[in-house]
Every structure is written in structure tokens, then in C-alpha cells.
Structure 1
């Protein structure tokens, strides 16, 4: 691990540091861009923060950062009816590409943990109820 658990690079002008939370956000956004991902699954604290209006963009993401490499664990919820293996592979590819392009770190692994499946009919029913209440 690097100093203060931050990624850094030294240039002639000084140091460049990337906090692990930044990498978590990049990974979370890259994962949710993939079709078939319904969302990220996080901790109870993250869910409470969202209820209070503070969206946690690193929700469901854990990273280990070294000086030149990182590893990512993602906890996701997928849509019912998709091919889980194909979507998970696409998530791995998209997350790896996004982190490497944006930070210059080498991503040595992206582990995808599927913790749930959502059904679109339930979402539509919940939206209909919400709209009726307004």
C-alpha cells in the first residue's frame, strides 16, 4: 500500500494523489453503465445516507490500492432475465477500462458479487403506486 492509503505519482512539479474513494466512485459509475445492472448493493449506512438525500456513488464497491495497481470488489443487483455471466464479464471489462483510463493504475482484478435480482414488474408497480399517491 502507498502512503496514507492513497495512490501517488511524483512528477517534477510535485505529487499526484488519488484517494481510494475516487476509485470507488469511478468503479461504481462504470458498473452501473452496463445494461442489466439494476444497482449496487451496499451497507446499511449507505442506505441511510441515500434516504437522507446523500447519494453514495461508491456504494457496493471496495478497492485495495497499491502504488501502481488496484483490485476491485463490486456487489451488484442485476435485472431478472439477463445472462448473469455475460453482464458480469461486461462489468469487469467496463470497470477495468474506466479505472485504467482515468487513473493510470493497473487493475489486477475485478470481482463481481451478485447479491440480488430485481423484477421489472415490481418496479413498475411501485412507480404506479408512488404516482397515485401524489
Structure 2
């Protein structure tokens, strides 16, 4: 596992890629329109991961002072995908930079599916 070393007059701080992935995953799931993180496509069905597996839907590459992040997302039905993606990019970049001090050079969003669950519940409630 890669780690980021921050060296100053007092010593060094090491930030693992998994920590950056968890921060990015939490930030992404806080964006309205995001149903969850995707663990990938298995048999054509996207798996929505819960909070304890947030780093599974995130791929991070950390250099000395920079990071590139790929997020695999499932959006809520009815959400405007470009707006959700831009909001995720903005929130993830700002959160990771604030918490780690790394310069986030890329936040790539991969939409893996659409969640229809809330829409189906509304239809049932109306009937």
C-alpha cells in the first residue's frame, strides 16, 4: 500500500492510500443524488456498498504531494448526472485537500448505475 510522506522539522507524517480513499468515499456519499458507491459490475448488476466499505468504490493513486482519485458511483433516479458528478468532484477535491494537504490533480467519476429504489417507494405510497 502506498503512503504519502509529509516531512517537516519535527519528523514525518504518512498518509496511506486507503485513508485518502475513505475520505473521498465519505465526501462522495454526502453529495445529494448519490445512491452509493459501486464495488464494480458483477454479472451486469452494480453492487451498492454500505458505509463500512467506502474505500471499495474508490481507486486512489498518491504521489509525493499529489493524488488522483477514481470514484465508482451509483446515482439516484431523476438526478442530473452531470451536476451530481461536478458536485462530487468539487466536494471530494476540497475535502481530501483540506484533510491531507495533498494536491488533488484529478477526480474521475465513473457512473456504474442508477438506483430506482426511492422512485419505486414513492409509486407504492401514492397507490
Pairwise TM-score range, normalised by the shorter structure = 0.7 to 0.9
Higher fraction of strand:
2
Aligned to 2:88: 91
* Residue 110 of structure 1: how far off its partner (Å): 0.3
1:17 lines up with 2:11 in the alignment: no
Structure 2 alignment gaps of length 5 or more: 123-127
Q: Say what the alpha-carbon RMSD is for the aligned residues.
A: 2.2
Structure 2 residue aligned with 1:111: 108
Match of 2:76 among 65, 79, 84: 79
Paired residue for 1:131? Answer: none
**Is 1:57 aligned to 2:54, yes or no?**
yes
TM-score under structure 2 length normalisation:
0.83
Tell me, in whole angstroms, the C-alpha distance in 2 between the residues paired with 1:79 and 1:121: 9
TM-score (norm 1): 0.79
User: Computing the radius of gyration over CA atoms, which structure comes out larger, 1 or 2?
Assistant: 1
Q: In the TM superposition, what whole-angstrom CA distance separates every residue of 1:18-46 from its partner, at most 9, and x where no partner exists?
A: 000000000000000000000000157xx
Gaps of 5+ in 1: 126-134
Count of residues paired in the alignment: 116
Following TM superposition, by how much is the alpha carbon of 1:86 offset from its aligned partner in structure 2, in angstroms? 0.6
